[in-house]
Amino acid sequence: EAQVTQNPRYLITVTGKKLTVTCSQNMNHEYMSWYRQDPGLGLRQIYYSMNVEVTDKGDVPEGYKVSRKEKRNFPLILESPSPNQTSLYFCASSLSGSGYTFGSGTRLTVV
């Protein structure tokens, strides 16, 4: 089944403890992105990647890192999470000129 898989689905962590949210797609898509969703603000792009080893900042990149070492994987790294990074996170992928397929989301709480 064609899909974008995110893990974990839910995560509660403490301020400053490094964490990684994984994202993997099995559709051979070139483009991958990370978004955060907060009430009243819609979906805001954190980082995007056009292909392996090609990444760029989105609208809200502060406090996040990404890597694209393989075409299928695009992990999101929070080196030192803070409470303002509590949010719902989505990974998405697409082919050029096509719609994005979203993962199921990761609900992160930083206390």
Partner 1 sequence: QQPVQSPQAVILREGEDAVINCSSSKALYSVHWYRQKHGEAPVFLMILLKGGEQKGHEKISASFNEKKQQSSLYLTASQLSYSGTYFCGTEFNSGGGADGLTFGKGTHLIIQP
Residues in touch with partner 1 (CB under 8 A): 30-31, 33, 35, 40-45, 48, 50, 56, 58-59, 90, 94-105
Could you tell me the smallest distance in angstroms from the CB atom of residue 18 to partner 1? 25
How far is residue 9's CA from residue 108's CA, in Å, rounded to a whole number?
A: 8
Residue 38 or 70 with smaller CB distance to partner 1: 38
Other beta carbons within 10 Å of 55 = 20
Residue 51 or 82 with smaller CB distance to partner 1: 51
The neighbouring-strand residues paired with 39 are none
How far is residue 31's CA from residue 47's CA, in Å, rounded to a whole number?
A: 11
Q: What residue type is assigned to position 5 of the chain?
A: T
Could you tell me the smallest distance in angstroms from the CB atom of residue 75 to partner 1? 17
Residue 82 or 104 with smaller CB distance to partner 1: 104
